[in-house]
Amino acid sequence: MEDYLPSPRSIIRVSTAARELWSADFKEIELRVAAALSKDTVLHEALKTSNTFQYIAEKLEIDDFPRPTVKLFFYGLLYGMGPNTLVEQYKFDRDEAIALWNRFNKIFSELDRYRNILSEEVKQRKLLTNYFGIPVSVEISSAFSAVNAVIQSTAACILLQAVGNFSINDGNDIRLLFTVHDEIIFDAPVSIHSKIPQIVSRYMKNEIEGIPLPIKLSVGKSWDNLKVIEM
């Protein structure tokens, strides 16, 4: 009989019944930042639907792929993946790979234009900044990755703003524990359970250029056993 190996997440738990473990996770933040910065109308429309990546999959004619794969292709194409990668790593027929690449650039034309503008700015040695005006460094040899750097830098600043707010002691006895990607893990007294959604909404930026930044909020006694609650 094999030894039981517990989930590493089960180790992260509250030490007393008087406290709860919480997760506040920005949903699809890179996608929303990309829409805000590029002002791409198709991406804006996608974000208004109940299933953003299903909408994107149908637009790109890849709706026979599962959602994680659609996300992989979308971000890959956005950040510089070309037809050769689709052929070599994902076994696309070359004509199909070229067609998908062209569809992406045509459908998300404003996103493609924004990506090209950033790449040209790097090649011209112009100062590249994120949404908050913070400089972003990109080598000329990697100019194609400028859009990745600007979007991820902007998303990181949004997360850091929230971390800073959680770190302020405002009498709620909320303790920031750590972050993972776009997720903030903290614990708080059970006595303020009902106040947490309002506090999280105050601490975490909820829009960028009019585009909502929704948050998935979960609570429980251990990180491997959190239940989603309504914000």
What string of pLDDT tens digits covers the 231 residues of the chain? 456 667 888 889 999 999 999 999 999 999 999 999 999 999 999 999 999 999 999 999 999 999 999 999 999 999 989 999 999 998 899 999 999 999 999 999 999 999 999 999 999 999 999 999 999 999 999 999 999 999 999 999 999 999 999 988 678 899 999 999 999 999 999 999 999 999 999 999 889 999 999 999 999 999 999 999 987
Residues 77 and 103 in one domain: yes
Residues 168 and 214 in one domain: yes
Residues 90 and 204 in one domain: no
Q: For residue 7, tell me if it sits in a domain.
A: yes
Q: For residue 148, tell me if it sits in a domain.
A: yes
Q: For residue 125, tell me if it sits in a domain.
A: no
Print the domain residue range for 56. Answer: 41-107
8 Å CB contact between 33 and 151: yes
Residues 102 and 141 in one domain: no
- The CA distance from 123 to 121, in Å, is 5
Q: CATH number of the domain that 198 lies in?
A: 3.30.70.370
Q: For residue 215, tell me if it sits in a domain.
A: yes
Residues 4 and 67 in one domain: no
* Angle, helix 94-107 to helix 52-60, in steps of 10 degrees: 120
Number of domains in the chain: 2
Q: For residue 88, tell me if it sits in a domain.
A: yes
Residues 4 and 78 in one domain: no
Q: For residue 122, tell me if it sits in a domain.
A: no
- The model carries a pTM of 0.91
Residues 52 and 140 in one domain: no
Give the domain-ending residue among 76, 107, 138.
107
Nearest Cα to Cα of residue 130 among 210, 43, 208? 208
Residues 158 and 74 in one domain: no
Three-state SS string over 6-52 comes to CCHHHHCECCCCCEEEEEEEECCHHHHHHHHHHCCHHHHHHHHCCCH
Residues 161 and 197 in one domain: yes
Q: For residue 183, tell me if it sits in a domain.
A: yes
Q: For residue 124, tell me if it sits in a domain.
A: no
Residues 82 and 186 in one domain: no
Residues 223 and 198 in one domain: yes
Residues 135 and 216 in one domain: yes
